[in-house]
């Protein structure tokens, strides 16, 4: 029996995690659920999984207490605030933490789980992009087991040699696949008028709003290049991105002898979630099997700088001074939020991100406090860029 904390339980990854958990009541029990808002959904999850703790933003705590009381769930304790997120991530009762918060807000609880040696299932890529080397070092010194949940990185993890000691020796290159998002074939000149609804309508995946916008700009793939670099210790110029609109091949590893291993499946996040939960075993995920007869063709195309300038910021930031990737992530969080609130044009998200990277004066950031300060500073720089690019 594994005891789990699910950070971000009301989100797209959080609810799909609970879907897999519910299929295996003999294997998993829930210690804590956390969310920022959505009181009724969280109360419903509490009813189904009866955790010991539930964490929500302070302004929603009274409503959640009331909702739990109305359901007769008075034994579940309601906590609030960033410290509570860390506490439920590192509690001694917990074996496994699903990190499914969106954004750099997830770094502190991820680090708490890493430091206390948990099995950490990482969906929250922004935490790793900000945390970088320091975060990977924290995982090592804490004795934690870090398993990727992002479908591409789960695919790579499944294709790589079992022992990390062999990765550098055997692997020549890793190839991340990208769907190309909803605007793969749209005239780049027409991107100025894109609405949040259009940007969030992904052809293959239903996801949270932030990652949906990132998929449309391909900043998501940029974050994933950085994520792959840290997770697998691969040099940036040994990471390639290819557009594969069907999202059936989730990523590939090219070996030194030019043999290529790929992981395939229907686009359903429950597969990498189930793999993370059960690794090194395999359990039923609820996903449909691939039907090759119905599938037809798998196609590939290169991403171009004209259409997807965001992607190329990944290599720029990785080549830049330490901290650059955290600055890029913070700028992007600010820009995407502004776009979703209709304060910034879609085609100017990139301008804010590139402008923030340029405006930043490198400083040394090591340790969680420095990293959170870097994140806050970069957000301030990005807000100044917003002023420049808002209509
Ligand atoms: P989402 O917006 O659907 O859910 C986010 C969850 O985090 C919610 O429960 C929300 O209440 C909580 N949350 C948001 N801000 C918070 C804050 N400041 N403090 C505490 N909790 C907060 O997002 P999602 O699509 O589930 O994505 C979650 C993470 O997983 C992201 O980092 C994303 O990049 C990654 N990811 C998602 C998918 C996917 O298919 N959705 C695939 C790969 C990776
Ligand atoms: Mg992904």
- 9, 79, 16, 17: which is closest to 38 by C-alpha? 9
Q: What is the pLDDT of residue 178?
A: 98
Ligand-binding annotation for 320, yes or no, is: no
Q: What is the pLDDT of residue 291?
A: 95
- CATH code 3.20.20.110 for 2-148: no
**Protein residue closest via CA to atom 4 of ligand 1:** 11
Q: What is the pLDDT of residue 44?
A: 98
Query: CA–CA separation, 364 vs 383, rounded Å?
Result: 22
Ligand-binding annotation for 230, yes or no, is: no
Query: CA–CA separation, 183 vs 218, rounded Å?
Result: 10
* Category of 299 on φ-ψ map: left (φ > 0), alpha (ψ -120 to 50) or beta: beta
Residue linked to tokens 């922004």: 126
Q: Which residues line ligand 1 (CB under 6 A)?
A: 8-14, 35-37, 100-103, 105, 123-126, 150, 205, 207-208, 211, 269
Q: What is the pLDDT of residue 263?
A: 98
Block means of pLDDT (10 residues each) for the chain, 391 residues, are 98 98 98 98 98 98 98 98 97 98 98 98 98 98 98 98 92 98 94 96 91 98 98 97 98 98 97 98 98 94 96 98 97 98 98 98 92 98 96 76
Please spell the DSSP secondary structure of 127-172, one letter per residue. Answer: HHHHHHHHHHHHHHHHT-EEEE-SHHHHHHHHHS-SSGGGHHHHEE
Query: CA–CA separation, 7 vs 357, rounded Å?
Result: 30
Ligand-binding annotation for 224, yes or no, is: yes
The closest-lying atom of ligand 1 relative to the alpha carbon of residue 101 is: 7
Phi, psi of 68, rounded to the nearest 5 degrees? -70, -40
Query: CA–CA separation, 40 vs 152, rounded Å?
Result: 32
Helix, strand or coil, per DSSP, at residue 21:
helix
Domain boundaries, given as residue ranges, for the chain:
2-148, 169-265+301-388
How distant, in Å, are the alpha carbons of 20, 22, 58, 71, 144 from that of 34?
17, 17, 12, 18, 21
The closest-lying atom of ligand 1 relative to the alpha carbon of residue 223 is: 34
pTM of the model: 0.98
Query: CA–CA separation, 173 vs 255, rounded Å?
Result: 7
How distant, in Å, are the alpha carbons of 37, 43, 119 from that of 159?
37, 39, 20
Q: Is 293 within 8 Å of 314 (Cβ atoms)?
A: no
CB atoms within 10 A of CB 170: 14
Quote the ligand 2 centre to 70 CA distance (angstroms): 39
- 169-265+301-388, which class in CATH? mainly alpha
Q: What is the pLDDT of residue 364?
A: 84
Q: What is the pLDDT of residue 391?
A: 76
Q: What is the pLDDT of residue 277?
A: 98
Check if 2-148 and 169-265+301-388 are the same fold. no
Token pair belonging to 334: 């600010």
From 9, 64, 101, mutation site for ligand 1 pocket: most ligand atoms within 8 A of C-beta: 101
């Amino acid at each position: 029996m594994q005891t789990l904390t699910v950070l971000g339980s009301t989100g797209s990854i959080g609810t799909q995690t609970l879907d897999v958990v519910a299929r295996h009541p003999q294997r998993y029990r829930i210690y804590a659920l956390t969310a920022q808002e959505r009181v009724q959904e969280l109360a419903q999850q509490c009813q189904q999984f009866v955790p010991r703790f539930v964490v929500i933003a302070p302004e929603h705590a009274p409503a959640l207490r009331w909702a739990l009381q109305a359901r007769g769930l008075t034994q579940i304790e309601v906590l609030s605030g960033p410290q509570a997120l860390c506490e439920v991530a590192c509690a001694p009762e917990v074996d496994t933490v699903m990190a499914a918060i969106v954004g750099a807000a997830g770094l502190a609880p991820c680090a708490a789980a890493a430091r206390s040696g948990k099995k950490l299932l990482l969906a929250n890529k922004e935490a790793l992009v900000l945390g970088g080397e320091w975060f990977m070092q924290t995982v090592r010194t804490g004795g934690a087991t870090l398993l990727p949940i992002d479908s591409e990185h789960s695919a790579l993890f499944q294709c790589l040699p079992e022992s990390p000691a062999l990765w550098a020796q055997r692997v020549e290159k890793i190839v991340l696949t990208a769907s190309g998002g909803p605007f793969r074939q749209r005239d780049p000149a027409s991107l100025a008028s894109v609405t949040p609804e259009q940007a969030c309508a992904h052809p293959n995946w239903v996801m949270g709003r932030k990652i949906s916008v990132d998929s449309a700009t391909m900043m998501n793939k940029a974050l994933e290049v950085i994520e792959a670099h840290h997770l697998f210790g691969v040099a940036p110029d040994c990471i390639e991105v290819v557009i594969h609109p069907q999202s059936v091949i989730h990523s590939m590893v090219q070996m030194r002898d030019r043999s290529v291993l790929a992981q395939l499946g229907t686009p359903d996040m429950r597969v990498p979630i189930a793999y993370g939960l059960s690794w090194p075993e395999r359990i039923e995920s609820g996903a449909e099997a691939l039907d090759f007869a119905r599938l037809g063709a798998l196609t590939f195309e290169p991403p171009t700088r004209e259409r997807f300038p965001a992607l190329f910021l990944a290599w720029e930031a990785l080549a830049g001074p330490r901290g650059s990737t955290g600055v890029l992530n913070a700028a992007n969080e600010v820009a995407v939020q502004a776009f979703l609130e209709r304060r910034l044009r879609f085609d100017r998200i990139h301008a804010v991100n590139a402008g923030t990277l340029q405006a930043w004066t490198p400083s040394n950031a090591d340790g969680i406090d420095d990293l959170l300060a870097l994140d806050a500073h970069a957000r301030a720089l990005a807000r100044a860029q917003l002023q420049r690019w808002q209509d």
